[in-house]
Structure 1
Amino acid sequence: MEETIPFKNLHSREYQGHKKKVHSVAWNCIGTKLASGSVDQTARIWHIEPHGHGKVKDIELKGHTDSVDQLCWDPKHADLIATASGDKTVRLWDARSGKCSQQAELSGENINITYKPDGTHIAVGNRDDELTILDVRKFKPIHKRKFSYEVNEIAWNMTGDTFFLTTGNGTVEVLAYPSLQLVDTLMAHTAGCYCIAIDPTGRYFAVGSADSLVSLWDISEMLCVRTFTKLEWPVRTISFNCTGEYIASASEDLFIDISNVQTGRSVHQIPCRAAMNSVEWNPKYNLLAYAGDDKNKYQADEGVFRIFGFESA
């Protein structure tokens, strides 16, 4: 079977700007800008041209007083972005001016953040396994819940009526939204579940686990369809490409795996020099951003991220 992307002919480009390692990369809804969040307490916005070699402009978002651990763009607005930090705040920024427009002070170190697909709510998870839902317009918490188990990455389904929690127990908790009533507990993995991604066609979601596997789930049946087995270390980050045909996954293995979602077969591996923290496909083009624990020859953080998928290096 022929793959629809000529992976073997594609190249990665490197982007430098941060002073310490990059924890999170995310594309805006139209695929024109990439945001990176770093341990250096800043986020940066990069204008990326999918074709050609335009000079990359970037602006710095300054204000957090601790690591920027995760960030996410407004799904309905290409210039609004939310950042979650260890400084206990969540901030909303205008990516054109680089100015912080809203700030919410929460109760713990924030490590996970995601937008509801209609852009009205933001969910934030912290190190103390507490979930906070923010109303975006008022930028105030409308719901808080503390869990008695480890809660990792969180996500809404495409329609926003179901909310998923990945847990340290190897389960995925499926909650109705907005009630947050438990609907189902999926026994997904034999070790903790760390990350979750929703396929853009709305048919599947995928879960990455400490058992080194990625599982693919049918969203209407809530059944596991297949697993991807290429990695050997705990899966830290996963992402579907814009058509839903491919899934990227990464860990402490020194490569990023790209597998065909339908066949389960690994079709390409991107070599890395360090453990990866974040992979994310562009929502319009087959460009994969990735960032990890890269260090230079003096063992200092490089503060770089890369994008794979260009026709020339």
Structure 2
Amino acid sequence: MEPIVYLPVLTLRSIAPSYFTAAFHPSKSREYREHRPSSHSNNAVIRSIAWNNLGNRIACGLNTNLVRVWNPEKPEAKNSTELKGHLKDVEKVVWDPMHPDKLASCCNGQVKFWDYRINRCLGTTVTAGDNVNLAYHPDSKVLAVGTKDDRIHFIDPRNASAILKTHKEGSQTNQVTFSHNGDFVLITTSLGKVVLRHWPSLEEVYSVDAHHSAVNCLQLDPRGSTLAIGGSDAALSLWDTAHWVCLRTLTRMDAPIKSMGYSFDGAYVCASSDESTNIEIVCVLNCPQSNTLADGCFAGPL
């Protein structure tokens, strides 16, 4: 059995207002505006957005077949980098976890690997399906690509011309990601389950019956101790990855949860939906069976 490590609470719910006020009150929002394409009546639509691991670049996937990399210190479009080469709308962008200057992007039937410093495509992989999800292995040697036909392709970015292996899940899949230690692949399903498969064998290790309807998204907290799962039932559930028990179920949303994100310290989770303009931010450091604040949190095996 894995040892349990207790870690101090970094931020408590009772001080959340002052926490966010201190963090954001002195700051002012800054606008980064896309060009107005000549062939479109409206501004370009951002379909995906991601920070690199150093926090000094932002990548955006656009509906104009373009990936744009922004410098947060210079909001003018002329100071950004345009990565051209996709033939269709860019559905997803994700940064290489080991190289802050490299990233991957996908459109229908195509995955591209980039080095934005030299404005160059490092390789292209042709896939048979409509690509909707990307996830790097923590060592950056493998990229998982999820498609609308419930297939997951695994690609070596160093040799993008070939697909290492392809896995067909038995039910609809909406997201795939790797555990922090790289030993497991976590897959959401339309059956309300999250399936854990061993990497690289892809043998099923465990499944979590998380929701009564489809699971749309999931994310591990920074320590790998808690898994947040968002469903089409508008609920967000939090699971202890050491014992696989549900710690809390959050039901503030009134529409299917499509995306989520943890704060850097794992103290807060934000969730959003395509059908609502609201973003819910929730403190997740409560004890699982009471409304009192926890004294610590588990460091799980993932």
TM class by shorter-chain length?
0.7 to 0.9
Judging by fraction of residues, say which structure has more strand.
1
SS in 2 for 1:35: strand
Gaps of 5+ in 2: 1-13, 36-42, 288-302
CA deviation profile, 1:159-189 (whole Å, cap 9, x unmatched): 0001100111111011111111001111111
Q: For 2:110 and 2:212, how far apart are their aligned partners in 1?
A: 33
Once the two structures are TM-superposed, the CA of residue 11 in structure 1 deviates from its matched residue by: 5.0
Once the two structures are TM-superposed, the CA of residue 97 in structure 1 deviates from its matched residue by: 2.4
Matches within 5 A, 1:102-181: 102-139=123-160, 140-181=162-203
Q: For 2:102 and 2:151, how far apart are their aligned partners in 1?
A: 25
SS in 2 for 1:67: coil
**Matched letter for residue 127 of structure 1:** K
Equivalent residue for 2:31, pick from 4, 14, 17:
14
**Matched letter for residue 98 of structure 1:** N
Q: Which residue of 1 aligns with 2:281?
A: 258
Q: Which moved more, 1:162-171 or 1:135-144?
A: 135-144
Pairwise CA RMSD = 1.8
Matches within 5 A, 1:18-33: 19-33=43-57
**TM-score, normalization by structure 1:** 0.79
Q: For 2:286 and 2:80, how far apart are their aligned partners in 1?
A: 38
Q: For 1:234 and 1:240, how far apart are their aligned partners in 2?
A: 18
CA deviation profile, 1:124-175 (whole Å, cap 9, x unmatched): 0011111101112212311101223101111111100011001111110111
SS in 2 for 1:106: strand
**Matched letter for residue 172 of structure 1:** V
**Matched letter for residue 29 of structure 1:** N
SS in 2 for 1:163: strand
Q: For 1:11 and 1:239, how far apart are their aligned partners in 2?
A: 22
Please identify the structure whose Cα radius of gyration is greater: 2
Question: In the alignment, is the contact (CA less than 8 A) between 2:58 and 2:70 conserved in 1?
Answer: yes
Matches within 5 A, 1:183-198: 183-198=205-220
Q: Which residue of 1 aligns with 2:299?
A: none
Once the two structures are TM-superposed, the CA of residue 223 in structure 1 deviates from its matched residue by: 2.0
Identify the structure with bigger relative contact order (alpha carbons < 8 Å, sequence gap 6+). Answer: 1
Question: In the alignment, is the contact (CA less than 8 A) between 2:34 and 2:44 conserved in 1?
Answer: no
Matches within 5 A, 1:36-115: 36-49=60-73, 57-86=79-108, 88-115=109-136
Q: How many residues align?
A: 260
Question: In the alignment, is the contact (CA less than 8 A) between 1:29 and 1:78 conserved in 2?
Answer: yes
Question: In the alignment, is the contact (CA less than 8 A) between 2:129 and 2:148 conserved in 1?
Answer: yes
| Percent identity over paired residues | 32
SS in 2 for 1:40: coil
**Matched letter for residue 43 of structure 1:** V
**Matched letter for residue 63 of structure 1:** G
Question: In the alignment, is the contact (CA less than 8 A) between 2:227 and 2:240 conserved in 1?
Answer: yes
Judging by fraction of residues, say which structure has more helix.
2
Are the structure 2 counterparts of residues 98 and 228 from structure 1 closer, same or farther at C-alpha, using a change threshold of 3 Å? farther
Once the two structures are TM-superposed, the CA of residue 196 in structure 1 deviates from its matched residue by: 1.2
